[in-house]
Amino acid sequence: GQQLNQSPQSMFIQEGEDVSMNCTSSSIFNTWLWYKQDPGEGPVLLIALYKAGELTSNGRLTAQFGITRKDSFLNISASIPSDVGIYFCPAPYNQGGKLIFGQGTELSVKP
């Protein structure tokens, strides 16, 4: 079946540092989504990518959809304590269908 691999699994950084995490798959996707999940809450959509090569920003967050459509990365610049959480990068199995999730990247930010 289709799988998504996220790396790193966890990160411990100092406040103010930049962060980079990525998502890879052996399958090709037409859409890639980045979510953040806080403890006890549902995933919140950060950035949606719809075209290969697309680079999209949302405040301090920047995400890119790989040109091969098999990977994506998320950068967070000048991290702050509220960036703490688990970041997921699911992709739809089919148009309008279920999302395939990886195991997430857990980010910890030290003030």
Partner 1 sequence: NAGVMQNPRHLVRRRGQEARLRCSPMKGHSHVYWYRQLPEEGLKFMVYLQKENIIDESGMPKERFSAEFPKEGPSILRIQQVVRGDSAAYFCASSPLSGHTDTQYFGPGTRLTVL
Binding site for partner 1 (CB under 8 A): 30-31, 33, 35, 40-45, 48, 50, 88, 90, 92-93, 95-104
Alpha carbons 95 and 93: distance in angstroms, whole number: 7
Residue 110 sits at φ, ψ, to 5 deg, of -95, 125
39 or 59, CB closer to partner 1?
39
Alpha carbons 101 and 111: distance in angstroms, whole number: 30
Alpha carbons 1 and 88: distance in angstroms, whole number: 19
82 or 95, CB closer to partner 1?
95
Minimum CB–partner distance for residue 79 and partner 1 (Å): 22
Minimum CB–partner distance for residue 97 and partner 1 (Å): 6
48 or 52, CB closer to partner 1?
48
Cβ atoms of 63 and 47 closer than 8 Å: yes
